[in-house]
Chains A and B, each alone.
Chain A
Amino acid sequence: MLEQHLAVLPIILPLIAAPIVLILGRSILSWGFATFISGWACLVSWQLLTATLSGGVISYAVGGWPPPWGIEMRVDTANAFVLLAVSFISTLVLLFSKESIKKEIDESQHTLFYTAYLLCLAGLSGILITGDAFNLFVFLEISSLATYTLVSLARDRQCLTAAFRYLVMGTIGATFILIGVGMLYMKTGTLNMLDLAERIHAYDSSRTINTGLAFIMVGVGIKLALFPLHAWLPAAYTHAPSAVTAFLASTATKVAVYVMIRFIFTIFGAEHVFENMGMDLILMVLAVVAIFKCSYMAAVQSNVKTVLAYSSLAQIGYMILGVSLVSVTGLMASMIHIFNHALMKGALFMAVGAVFYRLGSVDIKAFRGLGKQMPLTMAAFTISGLSIIGVPLTVGFISKWYLVTAALEQNHWVIAALVLAGSLLAIVYIGRVIEAAYFQEPENGQANVKEVPWTMLLPMWVLVIANIYFGVDTSLTTEAAKNASEILFQNSTEISALVDSLHGPASQMINEANVLSVEVAQ
């Protein structure tokens, strides 16, 4: 009976679980129930991915009202893939958090932590699955509010100013998105994403719609921390509790990248956004600057969490670079990096969280000699670090491979060289930590540090193994990313066909568009 409701389950499961967790109250019960729900959501997202992998689309009309009068949930390979990454990481981080938050969050707030965490998961799932532009805004705000709460739970007082800054910037971003959606609504009268795509292109070129596009891009840019709108991220990631950073770094900004991709390809159409408005050049420049500036900043920080935060900013640069190449391979590189980066950064932040659990500090000095004292944790860090650098046999290599291939396909030799140069910088910032761990002696008074409990080691190593597994057997991730990319470009082509049909010989073009839409619907 549940099979027909698969599309809406990943949202309503954590949504209903959150108030139940609040009522349950006791820490261990909250943890167990939350992990169970997250695991269930992960299973459902796996089912959704397998159902849509061959190009199918699942459409679910909430409330029984057909779109565009009701709200539609729409799952295709693109969002099923990202959903799988989000729910998988979420379950692992919940396992990790059982011990981790004991050292970082007051006992009385553990239940609130799990409640807010589930709300965040529900919000992120909602953003991914929905097919309605305003519904996206609502879920965006659910996840954002939960995120501000989660960041502010740490004991370090700087988490408060970081959370506040995140709140102000995040709300400005959400309001910009609201303005943009309003402008689109004003010209089309609808909020459903596919409907918007059809109706936007009845206009040849409209100032209102272009301004709406610009506002949405800026708003989403703030949420995904694209340079220069990234100011909130380093402080928020550094001072939030380790489990929170592990969750957010792997999911929140990636979901925002998905939103940007969805708006560009499915709603506005790649041709319009890139050729008519020149966004490909803007995004490419911003991405390259992000990669270099943030990799550089990562290399000079002394707090390892901040190093990883800046590294995340650089990785987001890589994802946007893939989008700006405007090709199936480029978009595929971005989609695969969304998944792979979640695996890499999740493991890295968990390893750093483990160090904090034992040592109470994540300054690079604290890492000295940990190679001997916490061998499993540091091995996890090393392997994931090699993945970030892009060493073969890891997922990082796969992402960089497709990105460089996409650049070379279009003869962007400079871009390809820049991608490789970024890896060199990654060697520096990862290498510093590895050097401290394996080649330096621990500071005085830091002897006898043990490994962390298995509930923290297990999820860490699941991710590390996934890093290697998906780096060797890339069939699932490349197939999913390729299909996602093709579907997105197909959406875009349908839009162009629609535009042509309005201006050229009508009947033949309309037929072509119909054929394409039938193929997609199958």
Chain B
Amino acid sequence: MNFILDYYNYWIVVFLMMTGFYIVISANNLVKKIVGLNVFQTSVFMLYISMGKVSGGTAPILVEGVTLYSNPLPHVLILTAIVVGVATTAVGLSLIVRIKRAYGTVEENEFKNQDDAI
């Protein structure tokens, strides 16, 4: 029981990661692929933040009388990763808009036929 309490957090996060990953690789519509990519990345962030948490601690901002703080380093890493994620999303969505203009569709099976097979 203790084992489950120690690890349930990680397992559910792994489940979320895999859901996002599944959406990315199986979706036909490009916008849905990007949504899946974001779900995947957000779940990875949860993994990092889970490792920084200290039971009984509080947010890493200095406050009178508090001695136990959660770890600030994962927070810094994830702040960076979130911004990287949205940057990728923005570029990906712009590509989708251009693909729609050029091919008339954003469904992968439809425009794949129009491209040379390489």
Contact = CB atoms under 8 A, between A and B. Distances in A.
A152 to B, nearest CB: 6
A303 B112 CA distance: 18
Interface in B86-118: 87-88, 91-92, 95-96, 98-99, 102-103, 111-112, 115-116, 118
Contact of B118 (A148, A157, A306): A306
Contacts of B17: 179
Interface residues on chain B, size class: 20 to 34
B48 interface: yes
Contacts of B92: 164, 167-168, 171
Contact of A182 (B44, B84, B116): B44
A349 B27 CA distance: 34
B70 to A, nearest CB: 14
A138 B84 contact: yes
B68 interface: no
Nearest to B14: A179
Interface in B38-76: 40-41, 44, 47-48, 51, 74
Contact of A164 (B44, B99, B118): B99
A141 B30 contact: no
Nearest to B34: A168
B95 A172 contact: no
B51 A182 contact: yes
B91 A167 contact: yes
A171 B47 contact: no
A148 B91 contact: yes
Contacts of A182: 44, 47-48, 51
B91 A145 contact: yes
B41 A168 contact: no
A167 B84 contact: no
Interface in B1-41: 17, 21, 24, 30, 33, 37, 40-41
B80 A138 contact: yes
Given A179-B47, A182-B47, A186-B51, A145 B88 contact: yes
B37 A161 contact: no
A235 interface: yes
Nearest to A146: B91
A491 interface: no
A161 B115 contact: yes
Nearest to A179: B44
A108 to B, nearest CB: 15
Q: Identify the interface centre among A148, A152, A167, A175: most chain B CB within 10 Å of its CB.
A: A175
Contacts of A387: none
Interface in A138-191: 138, 141, 145, 148-149, 152, 157-158, 160-161, 163-164, 167-168, 171-172, 175, 178-179, 182, 185-186, 191
A452 B99 CA distance: 33
A234 interface: yes
A179 B10 CA distance: 12
A238 interface: yes
Interface string A303-319: 10010000000000000
A178 B24 contact: no
B51 A172 contact: no
A178 B81 contact: yes
Contacts of B112: 161
Contacts of A148: 91, 95
A157 B102 CA distance: 6
Nearest to B20: A175
Contacts of B88: 141, 145, 167, 171
Given A168-B24, A168-B33, A186-B51, A163 B95 contact: yes
A134 interface: yes
A306 B84 CA distance: 31
Contacts of A138: 80, 84
A175 B21 CA distance: 10
A334 B81 CA distance: 32
Given A167-B88, A175-B44, A182-B44, A161 B116 contact: no
Contacts of A172: 21, 24, 37, 40
Nearest to B50: A186
A182 B74 CA distance: 9
A173 to B, nearest CB: 12
23 contacts: A134-B77, A141-B84, A141-B88, A145-B87, A148-B91, A157-B103, A158-B115, A160-B95, A160-B98, A161-B103, A164-B92, A164-B95, A164-B96, A167-B88, A168-B92, A175-B41, A178-B44, A178-B81, A179-B17, A179-B44, A182-B44, A191-B77, A306-B118
Given A172-B37, A185-B74, 7 more contacts: A160-B99, A161-B112, A164-B96, A168-B33, A179-B47, A235-B115, A303-B118
Interface of B: 17, 21, 24, 30, 33, 37, 40-41, 44, 47-48, 51, 74, 77, 80-81, 84, 87-88, 91-92, 95-96, 98-99, 102-103, 111-112, 115-116, 118
